[in-house]
A and B are shown apart, each in its own frame.
Chain A
Amino acid sequence: MAEFERNWRQVATDLNAIVDARFVIDDRETLRPYECDGLSVYREMPRLVVLPESVEQVCAVMAYCHRERIPVVVRGAGTSLSAGAMPHAEGIVLSMAKFTRVIEIDPASRLARVECGVRNLAISEAAAAHGLYYAPDPSSQIACTIGGNVAENSGGVHCLKYGLTVHNVLQATLVSVEGEQLTVGGAGLDSCGLDLLALVIGSEGMLGVVTDVTVKLLPRLPAARVVLGAFDDVERAGEAVSRIIGAGIIPAGLEMMDHLAIVAAEDYVRAGYPVDAQALLLCELDGSEAEVEESTRRVADLLREQGATGVQVSRTDAERELFWKGRKCAFPAIGRISPDYYCMDGTIPRHQLSLVLREMREMSERFGLRVANVFHAGDGNLHPLILFDESVPGELEQAEAFGAAILELCVKAGGCITGEHGVGMEKIRQVPLQFSEGELTQLGLIKLAFDAGELLNPGKGIPILKRCQEYRSLERQAPPPGAAA
């Protein structure tokens, strides 16, 4: 990227004129924690980390970097699981950690406007006094920020009923790569013109810097219960999921774990899971007392009809939380039985589940690595956890190859390479599995429409084909659109 040696000391001096000198980090020791995000096998040291304190400072930093052609990687809490926040070797990290203000809670309109660095869970905490909460709940919700959620279109375990980030965000303030501020979306439900908000959500920090976000708040429902269903066969558990949905019930959460995940989770948190089961379903129903009673009864009956070897319904909120705890701790639980694990994130049409799991078992033997599965069964989002040992030479590479094969399998089954973790740096090579050259060109052109110099999070998300820059210079000569009107 850099065809000349940049004077980084000068850059630091220039940025000090915009941002308080304490918040321009340039010593290696303090830079070190920024070298990776939640996917720590990918590392790169940034040249500088800048922590602006106001939107005006963000605008000025962006304008400066744009003028000087300095790559910028925007960072929230650094919990990305796809190396989306991994620094650029010749760029700066723009940390939004100081944007932690809850600007407004409007209980009557059921919305909250918060700065981008507010943690996901903190929104729900701020809204709790009004009986409201923010629905998307990625498992990192204690730490991850709403700005990062917007960048990744984060999901969680309640997506089937309550949607992803894109369904729960109304408006965002965006700073463009040139350092100009604009609003995308609106405080109402629909907005006029092109839906720029939809493009920004899930764009992995490649289109602009989000500085504040207006989210929808939902009412906390009076009742919720979890039905646990144990099965001696994964396929039968998958069939039970289809039956629940076919019966017209949309559970708040619908999760599946396979044998290895069940055993690891039970060993870790003692949630009362049946360790001899091959598959475990967790089905959460919420609503009024009357609704929950009715739907719980129906789901429990369906699970029994489908041949569940055991069905338990949570009797108290404490028990419900315990049932969930096993699932929510599945990743660290796997971490206890293996020195390292690699978490994948493909989505498949649910009816392909048994095929995909069967092929995955074969691959597991072929690659010589164990795999545990936790599955957002309601929406088809699969999280295979590949167990490996980084200290064994070649095992990391083997795990990565296994992971790539799983993603290929997901696309073959009619699904996609990432359901909620994003492409980032990690899956950039797999993107062409899912898109043709024409589609990649169109996506690349969208990127260039926002960021012609490819300064925002370069090298992530979408491989920019050479064709894109050619089209851009070629088609610029064409008459402007709308000239005929």
Chain B
Amino acid sequence: MADRAEELSGRVRQAAAAASPVRIVGHDTKAFMGRRAAGAVVSTAGHTGLIEYEPTELVVAARSGTPLAELQDMLQQHGQWLGCEPPDFGGATLGGTLACNQSGPARPWLGSIRDHVLGVRLVNGRGEHLRFGGRVMKNVAGYDVSRLQAGAMGTLGLITEVTLRVFPLPEYRATAVLAVDAGAALEIMSDESRKGGPLDGACWVDGRLYLRYSGFEAAVTERLRQRGGETLQQDSAFWTGLREQQQDFFAGDAPLWRISCRSAAAHAGEGGWLLDWGGAQRWLRGAREWPGLQSLAEGMDGQLSLFRGGDREGEVLHPRTPAQKRLHLALKQTFDPQGIFNPGRLFSWM
């Protein structure tokens, strides 16, 4: 529990004065993500602590270095959780989770951390400690700088505080398993999503479709009965393994590709695939060439990224058009005129 915001702002001001790059980290659990970036490490790890938690307001605010696990424990004591179900990756912090826009299996139904962020404080590249957004769910004054941080991977500033909307923990959960091929799985996932109600996880891997239902026990049981199939025992191990990328599918060093696409896009066929988020997030393992995979992703109305492994010196995110690129650079300039924050982490040109 320490407020190190002053010290962190000072580090940024020094770096800005010297125009020397910094690499912002929390616990550095996501070093594998993004491009490899150089720079003197500035860590938010010691900048921890709860700022505000009002369970009946469904709002929590904490310093960016606060471990996600600590936050989750506290929420759980009040029957709540971060509905975006972000991965812990062995010690993730709140700030890093937002910067990398990390969400887990419940994301299509409960939203992402980008959806749930209500406000941030950050140190920009001029060393100014600024506050954007707020602690209320509806707030449309000013541009949405808080959500802009999600997925920016620290290229726009050093996040010092995050305020999130939280959710009640479901009272009951159960998972149905069906042995089907990927094409059938996509159809079932789409049908299930169109029914609404207690679905909050839908993943196909290795010839099996896993459907997680959450809510009142009576409603979940009823839905399981309608769905049919086998009920998975100790199902939380499956969903945790999926969230933390610890299942067999994720083992080994082969490059891990991610396509974020239209959820009902046709299955891409051969290769090792895992379909999550009801089909909206598709994982592929193996050494592949960018151009082929990129056009595959575009055919699915999707975007490709090289999530883990492979060449981290080249581009790892779906390319931006010239117009998008210009806006990226113009925005970067407004937050970080010296280009000191995580240069090259997101794209080689930024």
List residues of A whose CB falls within 8 A of some B CB: 106-111, 130-132, 152-153, 155, 159-160, 163-164, 166-167, 176, 180-184, 186-196, 198-199, 201-203, 207, 218-222, 242-243, 245-246, 248-250, 287-288, 290-291, 294-295, 347-351, 376, 379-381, 414-423, 427, 431, 434-436, 438-439, 442-443, 445-450, 462, 471, 475-476, 478-485
Chain A residues with CB below 8 A from B197, complex form: 221, 287-288, 291
Q: Judging by beta carbons under 8 Å apart, are B114 and A198 in contact? A: yes
Residue in A106, A349, A427, A484 whose CB lies within 8 Å of B38: A484
What separation, in Å, do the CA atoms of A167 and B147 have in the docked complex?
A: 11
Chain A residues with CB below 8 A from B156, complex form: 194
Q: Judging by beta carbons under 8 Å apart, are B140 and A106 in contact? A: no
What separation, in Å, do the CA atoms of A31 and B79 have in the docked complex?
A: 57
Residue in B38, B134, B143, B264 whose CB lies within 8 Å of A202: B143
Q: Choose among B132, B138, B323 the residue with the greatest number of A CB atoms under 10 Å from its CB.
A: B138
Chain B residues with CB below 8 A from A199, complex form: 143-144, 147-148, 331
Chain B residues with CB below 8 A from A351, complex form: 54, 56-57
Q: Judging by beta carbons under 8 Å apart, are B339 and A481 in contact? A: yes
Chain A residues with CB below 8 A from B338, complex form: 478-479, 481
Q: Judging by beta carbons under 8 Å apart, are A248 and B79 in contact? A: yes
Using known A-B contacts A110-B263, A194-B151, determine if residue A481 contacts B332 with beta carbons closer than 8 Å.
Answer: yes
Q: Judging by beta carbons under 8 Å apart, are A438 and B128 in contact? A: yes
Q: Judging by beta carbons under 8 Å apart, are B317 and A192 in contact? A: yes
Other than the given A160-B137, A294-B216, A438-B128, 4 more pairs (CB < 8 A) read A153-B144, A199-B148, A416-B138, A419-B138
Q: Which of the segments B173-181, B247-255, B299-307 contacts the partner chain?
A: B299-307
What separation, in Å, do the CA atoms of A288 and B192 have in the docked complex?
A: 13
Q: How far is the CB of A167 from chain B (nearest CB, A)?
A: 5
Q: Which of the segments B62-70, B86-94, B105-113, B233-241 contacts the partner chain?
A: B105-113
Q: Judging by beta carbons under 8 Å apart, are A442 and B334 in contact? A: yes
Residue in A203, A294, A479 whose CB lies within 8 Å of B143: A203
Chain B residues with CB below 8 A from A427, complex form: 141
How many residues of B are in contact with the other chain, CB < 8 A?
A: 104
Q: How far is the CB of B245 from chain A (nearest CB, A)?
A: 16
Using known A-B contacts A167-B111, A380-B136, A439-B130, determine if residue A446 contacts B277 with beta carbons closer than 8 Å.
Answer: no
Q: Is B219 an interface residue (CB 8 A)?
A: yes
Q: Judging by beta carbons under 8 Å apart, are A418 and B139 in contact? A: yes
Residue in B108, B279, B303 whose CB lies within 8 Å of A191: B303
Residue in A106, A379, A439 whose CB lies within 8 Å of B136: A379
Chain A residues with CB below 8 A from B195, complex form: 219
Q: How far is the CB of A420 from chain B (nearest CB, A)?
A: 6
Q: Is B280 an interface residue (CB 8 A)?
A: yes
Residue in B111, B139, B265, B277 whose CB lies within 8 Å of A419: B139
Top 5 A-B pairs, shortest CB-CB distance: A481-B339, A485-B344, A188-B260, A108-B264, A248-B168
Chain B residues with CB below 8 A from A196, complex form: 324, 327-328
Q: Judging by beta carbons under 8 Å apart, are B147 and A193 in contact? A: no
Q: How far is the CB of B1 from chain A (nearest CB, A)?
A: 22
Q: For the complex, would chain A's binding face be called helix, strand, loop or mixed by DSSP majority? A: loop
Q: Judging by beta carbons under 8 Å apart, are A191 and B141 in contact? A: no
Sample 28 A-B pairs with CB under 8 A, ordered by A number. A109-B265, A130-B194, A163-B115, A166-B115, A166-B147, A182-B323, A182-B327, A188-B260, A189-B281, A191-B151, A195-B101, A202-B140, A248-B171, A291-B197, A347-B134, A349-B54, A349-B59, A380-B57, A442-B145, A443-B143, A443-B145, A446-B145, A462-B142, A481-B337, A481-B338, A483-B339, A484-B21, A484-B340
Residue in A155, A188, A436, A438 whose CB lies within 8 Å of B280: A188
What separation, in Å, do the CA atoms of A111 and B305 have in the docked complex?
A: 23
Q: Judging by beta carbons under 8 Å apart, are B196 and A190 in contact? A: no
Q: Judging by beta carbons under 8 Å apart, are A194 and B281 in contact? A: no
Q: How far is the CB of A108 from chain B (nearest CB, A)?
A: 4
Using known A-B contacts A250-B168, A484-B38, determine if residue A291 contacts B324 with beta carbons closer than 8 Å.
Answer: no
Using known A-B contacts A290-B216, A294-B219, A438-B130, determine if residue A350 contacts B57 with beta carbons closer than 8 Å.
Answer: yes
Using known A-B contacts A108-B190, A109-B262, A485-B343, determine if residue A190 contacts B136 with beta carbons closer than 8 Å.
Answer: no
What separation, in Å, do the CA atoms of A423 and B216 have in the docked complex?
A: 41
Using known A-B contacts A182-B324, A294-B219, A479-B19, determine if residue A379 contacts B196 with beta carbons closer than 8 Å.
Answer: no
Interface residues of B in 181-217 (CB under 8 A from A): 190, 193-198, 215-216
What 1/0 flags go to B324-350 for Cβ under 8 Å of A?
100111111111111110011011111
Q: Choose among B108, B136, B195, B328 the residue with the greatest number of A CB atoms under 10 Å from its CB.
A: B136
Q: How far is the CB of A193 from chain B (nearest CB, A)?
A: 6
Q: How far is the CB of A357 from chain B (nearest CB, A)?
A: 16
Q: Choose among A159, A201, A482 the residue with the greatest number of B CB atoms under 10 Å from its CB.
A: A482
Q: How far is the CB of B116 from chain A (nearest CB, A)?
A: 9
What separation, in Å, do the CA atoms of A347 and B101 have in the docked complex?
A: 26
Q: Is B261 an interface residue (CB 8 A)?
A: yes
Q: Choose among B169, B277, B323, B335 the residue with the greatest number of A CB atoms under 10 Å from its CB.
A: B323
Q: Is B135 an interface residue (CB 8 A)?
A: yes
Q: Is B77 an interface residue (CB 8 A)?
A: no
What separation, in Å, do the CA atoms of A482 and B336 have in the docked complex?
A: 10
Chain A residues with CB below 8 A from B139, complex form: 347, 415-416, 418-419
Using known A-B contacts A193-B324, A195-B114, determine if residue A152 contacts B196 with beta carbons closer than 8 Å.
Answer: no
Q: Judging by beta carbons under 8 Å apart, are A153 and B140 in contact? A: yes
What separation, in Å, do the CA atoms of A423 and B143 have in the docked complex?
A: 11
Residue in B56, B131, B136, B318 whose CB lies within 8 Å of A245: B56
What separation, in Å, do the CA atoms of A221 and B259 have in the docked complex?
A: 30
Interface residues of B in 40-80 (CB under 8 A from A): 54-59, 79
Using known A-B contacts A195-B151, A419-B138, determine if residue A190 contacts B143 with beta carbons closer than 8 Å.
Answer: no
What separation, in Å, do the CA atoms of A350 and B79 have in the docked complex?
A: 19
Q: Judging by beta carbons under 8 Å apart, are B148 and A195 in contact? A: yes
Using known A-B contacts A249-B168, A418-B140, determine if residue A106 contacts B115 with beta carbons closer than 8 Å.
Answer: no
What separation, in Å, do the CA atoms of A198 and B148 have in the docked complex?
A: 6
What separation, in Å, do the CA atoms of A201 and B148 have in the docked complex?
A: 11
Chain B residues with CB below 8 A from A347, complex form: 134, 136-139
Chain B residues with CB below 8 A from A350, complex form: 56-57
What separation, in Å, do the CA atoms of A294 and B197 have in the docked complex?
A: 13
Q: How far is the CB of A469 from chain B (nearest CB, A)?
A: 12
